[in-house]
């Protein structure tokens, strides 16, 4: 019974609920921003959680799109602006979301 309710309300069995959940999660992914002074690690984990929840609904966000959302959600400062520049120049270090996450956390640790 619990599994049925969980699947139903997470949108795994009901198509209308699933579409609604996808929209909500995608909007959260697009609008979540990390403000200056907030915990960047927690913010990045939240972004990855939204991505995983979308994947569970068979609505996975492609890697490069997620990377752009992730980088654009970071606060404006010298380190993260450098990261954005690396992205724009097509750095090979920035080809997977996990590598970008590692780079973000590394840059944040310099603080």
Sequence-distant (6+) residues with CB within 8 A of 30 are 69
C-alpha atoms less than 13 angstroms from C-alpha of 56 in its C-beta half-sphere: 16
Q: pLDDT by residue (tens digit) across 20-79?
A: 899 999 999 999 999 988 999 999 999 999 999 999 989 999 998 999 999 999 998 888
Q: What is the mean pLDDT of residues 73-96?
A: 82
pLDDT value at 11 more than 60: no
pLDDT at 90 over 90: no
Q: Average pLDDT of 85-89?
A: 79
């Amino acid at each position: 019974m619990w599994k049925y309710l969980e699947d139903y309300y997470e949108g795994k069995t009901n198509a209308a609920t699933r579409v609604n959940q996808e929209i909500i999660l995608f909007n959260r992914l697009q609008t979540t921003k990390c403000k200056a002074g907030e915990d960047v690690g927690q913010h990045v984990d939240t972004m990855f959680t939204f991505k995983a929840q979308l994947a569970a609904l068979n609505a996975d966000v492609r890697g490069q799109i997620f990377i752009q959302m992730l980088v654009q959600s970071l606060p404006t400062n010298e380190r993260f602006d450098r990261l954005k520049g690396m992205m724009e120049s097509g750095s090979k270090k920035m080809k997977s979301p996990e590598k970008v996450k590692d780079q973000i956390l590394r840059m944040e640790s310099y603080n």
